[in-house]
Amino acid sequence: MQTLLDSTALARGWQLGDGHFTTMHARRGRVRLWPLHQARLMAACRRLHMAEPDWAAIDAELTALPDEGDRVVRLTLLRGPGGRGYGIAGCGATQVALNVSPFPAHYFTWRERGIDLGVCEGRLGSSPLLAGLKTVNRLEQVLLKAELERRELAEGVVLNEAGRVMEAVTANLFWRKGDAVFTPELANGGVHGTLRAWVMGELGERVQVVSAPLEALQDADEIWLTNALMGLVPVCSLAGRSLGGDYSITRALQQRYEQID
C-alpha cells in the first residue's frame, strides 16, 4: 500500500512534523502485535487532535501483505490538508502511507548473543506535550544515532536533561535488580513502545515504573532492550562493565514472544 498523499498534507508533515507513525514486524505476512500498534496510533490521534484514519482500509491492506518471511512495515499518519500555519482548523481527513521494506537481519543475532550498551553524551529534552508519542519529528534520535555511529556503539542509554534514565536511542529499556524489574517513567519524554507495553502486560505488577539515575542501571543484575523490530535483546555489558550473563527474564520473555503473532 502506498496511498497518494495530498501535497498540502505532505507539507505539514515535512514542514511542521505534523504526524506520527508506528514501525511493525510482519512475519509470514502477519503483523505482530497489531492491536497494540493500533491502540498506540489511536491514542496519538486523540492527543494530537487528529482525525482517525479508515481503519477498515488499513486492516485490509495489512491482511493482504505477501507471505514473504520477515518484513518491516511502517504506517505513517499525517494530518490532512487545510489550515494555515500552525492552525489545524479545517484540516481534512488524515492521510495514510504504508511502506514495506527489508527486515534488519542483525536483530536476530542481537537477540541470540546480546549487545554491549554504551551511555550517550547527548540528552533528551523535556517535552510533556509529546511524551510517549512517536511523531514524525525524530531529530533528537537522528543526532543520537549519529553519536552512536561516531563512537562505534551498537546502542546507547539516553538520559534526560536531569540525568535520569529514559530509554535507548531506538528502543525501550528494562532492568532487573534481584527479583524487582524496572523501566523508566516517560511522563516528560521518550516513546511508549508497543513491545514495552507487551512486556509490562506480561510481567504485570512486578514492573516498577521509576525515575532513576544512571547509577541504578549500573547496579542492575540484568538489562534488556525492546522494540517492535529487534524484539527483546539482552545486554551483555553497560559502558564496559559485564553484567555476568544472567539473562533469565529476557530469555523467558523471548520464548513467550516467539509464540505470538
Tens digits of per-residue pLDDT, 173-200?
A: 999 999 999 999 999 999 999 999 999 9
Query: Which helix (H) or strand (E) covers residue 202, if one does?
Result: helix 194-203
What are the sequence ranges of the domains in the chain?
7-103, 108-258
Rounded distance between C-alpha atoms, residue 30 and residue 67, angstroms: 8
Q: Which residues contact 179 (CB under 8 A, 6 or more apart)?
A: 206
Q: Give the model confidence (pLDDT) of 100-129 as tens digits.
A: 999 999 999 999 999 999 999 999 999 999
Q: Quick one: pLDDT at residue 1? A: 43
Catalytic residue, from 22, 94, 134, 170: name it. 134
Active site residue 167: yes
Q: Residue 32: pLDDT above 90?
A: yes
Please give the CATH topology (third level) of the domain spanning 7-103: D-amino Acid Aminotransferase; Chain A, domain 1 (3.30.470)
Residue 2: per-residue pLDDT: 47
Q: What is the pLDDT of residues 125-178, one digit of tens each?
A: 999 999 999 999 999 999 999 999 999 999 999 999 999 999 999 999 999 999
Nine cell digits for residue 76: 505513517
Choosing from 76, 94, 145, 167, which is the catalytic residue? 167
For the structural domain made of 108-258, what CATH number should be given?
3.20.10.10
Of 23, 183, 226, 250, catalytic: 23
| Chain segment 202-233, per-residue pLDDT in tens | 999 999 999 999 999 999 999 999 999 999 99
**What is the torsional sign of CA 60, 61, 62, 68?**
positive
